[in-house]
């Protein structure tokens, strides 16, 4: 048996990290087992408040950026298409008619007004919500009359009223549900469009899906889908429900915790490779307690469905930030510059199409700040002083290092040494400037270093002074030392 798994996003919003984790688990399992990874667009919910076709490119790009391009999907095609549910309506309508003919479904003629009133009465009596099955017991005469009057109707699942439905979940073990607790779910709406329950079963069967790997929040719908498999006489897939992702407060991950959409993280400067690694470890263990960084090949090698925990996964934003820093530091200078360029351009620090010299300068500046970089969007703040001379220094640094006569002496001495250079200083030249300034003024190196840092960058913290002096170059340093004279405070 060839393993066939699927990721079935709906275009109702930008992809949530929980959905992306589901996609990753499916792709990894397919690669582990030499199987097929399918993506299917579930676009049958056309409620204008939820249906957002403009997010489909983000659904596509999220998979591409993570390197999990489906083997079969709506963009690449395949032998089991179409892979868009709105293009498969005839299949669902035919399946609904088959269920009616076999007595496993029935037409419901209840109006929205009656259903609303029914729910209100149930609520008032403290009863569990659910359809009262009125149309399930209509006489043939009533059915014929309603049909002759062309009343709109839906198709409902005729759930067995007795017994139990039991199934095996790879993560949660054996699960049993009393059939009387299952509602007669609408399968086909009055406009001929399917609900999720009918469409997902028909599609998973016709596309040969062997394992359904999805979020735990779909678990309550599984008995209804199992009944449909049985009603059609189809073999069930293997059920795998993945635990929910929670915030540190152990509540379902939401906006109150921070970013939740995959592209929020990508746009703010988290690397796709970081997100791959981090999300895979939410609810699955690689079996190495003291290790967090794994290559894609290592994850595939270690992955198993049995390794998925039934405990909710906690989304640790601090750990994600740390991990992203680790991935940033293994990028080459050229790769890191490519990743950082959009943020520097957006901040107006470099031109939209930088010339070779401008890019080289940016690469040198970025390289000096790479050790402190955790998220790519931070690069504009970390390197801003390289591109734009500070107007004023930090108040703390000004008070401590630019007060009295000594900073004026340091500035004058250092400036004369810089002016004497025939070219931009090397790192060694920069260190000699600091050493000679300290010797000339009979000072220790630290006050010279701190004073020059504030003069050149306006800050008290940053990359190594000698390295940043070398990157800034002779002319920038002279200009900034001149400006710094006006920053010096009287004692």
Q: Which active-site residues does the annotation give? A: 255
Closest by CA to 185, choosing from 147, 127, 233, 136, is 136
In this structure, are residues 238 and 210 in contact, taking their beta carbons and an 8 Å threshold? yes
Report residue 180: phi and psi, to 5°: -65, -15
Distance CA 458, CA 401 (A): 11
- Conformational region of residue 284, where left means phi above 0, alpha means psi within -120 to 50, and beta covers everything else: beta
Hey, what are 417's tokens? 């040494």
Distance CA 88, CA 199 (A): 9
In this structure, are residues 221 and 198 in contact, taking their beta carbons and an 8 Å threshold? no
H/E stretch holding 165 reads: strand 164-169
H/E stretch holding 108 reads: strand 105-108
* β 245-246/313-314 pair status: parallel
Closest by CA to 177, choosing from 191, 162, 157, is 162
Question: Any residues with CB less than 8 A from the CB of 74 and at least 6 apart, and which?
Answer: 39, 40, 41, 81, 82, 83, 84
Distance CA 235, CA 205 (A): 8
Hey, what are 118's tokens? 């029914």
Distance CA 27, CA 133 (A): 41
Sign of the torsion formed by the C-alpha atoms of 287, 288, 292 and 293: negative
Concatenating the DSSP letter of every residue in 310-346 gives SSPEE--HHHHHHHHHHHHTTS-HHHHHHHHHHHHHH
In this structure, are residues 402 and 489 in contact, taking their beta carbons and an 8 Å threshold? yes
Distance CA 254, CA 97 (A): 40
Residue with tokens 């934003």: 317
Distance CA 350, CA 341 (A): 8
Hey, what are 433's tokens? 């400037």
Distance CA 185, CA 179 (A): 13
In this structure, are residues 199 and 44 in contact, taking their beta carbons and an 8 Å threshold? yes
Residue with tokens 């004058």: 412
Hey, what are 187's tokens? 């399968």
> Which 8-state DSSP code applies to residue 105?
E
In this structure, are residues 7 and 38 in contact, taking their beta carbons and an 8 Å threshold? yes
């Amino acid at each position: 048996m060839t393993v066939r798994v699927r990721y079935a996003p709906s275009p109702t919003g930008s992809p949530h990290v929980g959905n992306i984790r589901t996609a990753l688990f499916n792709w990894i399992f397919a690669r582990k087992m030499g199987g097929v990874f399918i993506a299917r667009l579930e676009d049958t919910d056309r409620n204008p408040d939820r249906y957002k076709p403009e997010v489909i490119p983000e659904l596509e790009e999220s998979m591409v950026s993570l390197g999990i391009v489906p083997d079969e999907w709506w963009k690449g095609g395949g032998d089991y298409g179409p892979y868009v549910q709105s293009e498969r309506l005839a299949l669902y309508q035919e399946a609904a008619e088959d269920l009616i003919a076999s007595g496993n479904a029935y037409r419901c003629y209840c109006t929205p007004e009656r259903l609303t009133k029914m729910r209100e009465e149930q609520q008032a009596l403290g009863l569990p919500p659910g359809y009262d099955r009125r149309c399930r017991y209509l006489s043939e005469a009533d059915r014929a009359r309603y049909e002759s009057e062309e009343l709109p109707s839906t198709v409902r699942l005729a759930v067995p009223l007795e017994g139990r439905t039991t199934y095996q979940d790879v993560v949660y073990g054996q699960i049993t549900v009393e059939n009387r607790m299952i509602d007669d779910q609408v399968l086909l709406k009055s406009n001929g469009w399917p609900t999720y329950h009918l469409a997902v079963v028909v599609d998973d069967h016709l596309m040969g899906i062997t394992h359904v790997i999805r979020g735990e929040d779909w678990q309550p719908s599984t008995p209804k889908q199992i009944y449909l498999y049985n009603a059609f006489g189809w073999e069930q897939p293997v059920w795998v429900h993945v635990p929910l992702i929670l915030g540190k407060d152990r509540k379902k991950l939401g906006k109150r915790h921070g970013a939740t959409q995959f592209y929020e993280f990508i746009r703010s400067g988290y690397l796709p490779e970081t997100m791959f690694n981090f999300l895979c470890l939410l609810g699955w263990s690689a079996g190495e307690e003291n290790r967090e960084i794994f290559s894609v090949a290592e994850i595939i090698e270690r992955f198993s469905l049995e390794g998925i925990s039934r405990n909710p996964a906690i989304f640790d934003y601090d750990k994600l930030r740390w991990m992203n820093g680790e991935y940033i530091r293994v990028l080459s200078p050229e790769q890191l510059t490519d990743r950082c360029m959009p943020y520097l351009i957006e901040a107006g620090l470099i031109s939209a199409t930088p010339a070779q010299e401008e890019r080289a300068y940016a690469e040198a500046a970025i390289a000096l700040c790479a050790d402190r970089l955790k998220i790519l969007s931070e690069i504009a703040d970390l390197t801003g002083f390289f591109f734009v001379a500070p107007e004023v220094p930090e108040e703390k640094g000004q008070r401590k290092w630019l007060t009295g006569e000594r900073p004026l002496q340091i500035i004058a001495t250092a400036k004369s040494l810089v002016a004497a250079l025939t070219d931009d200083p090397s790192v060694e030249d920069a260190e000699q400037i600091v050493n000679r300034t300290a010797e000339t003024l009979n000072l220790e190196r630290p006050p010279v270093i701190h004073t020059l840092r504030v003069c050149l960058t306006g800050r008290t913290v940053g990359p190594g002074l000698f390295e940043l002096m070398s990157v800034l170059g002779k002319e920038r340093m002279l200009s900034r030392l001149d400006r710094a004279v006006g920053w010096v405070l009287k004692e």
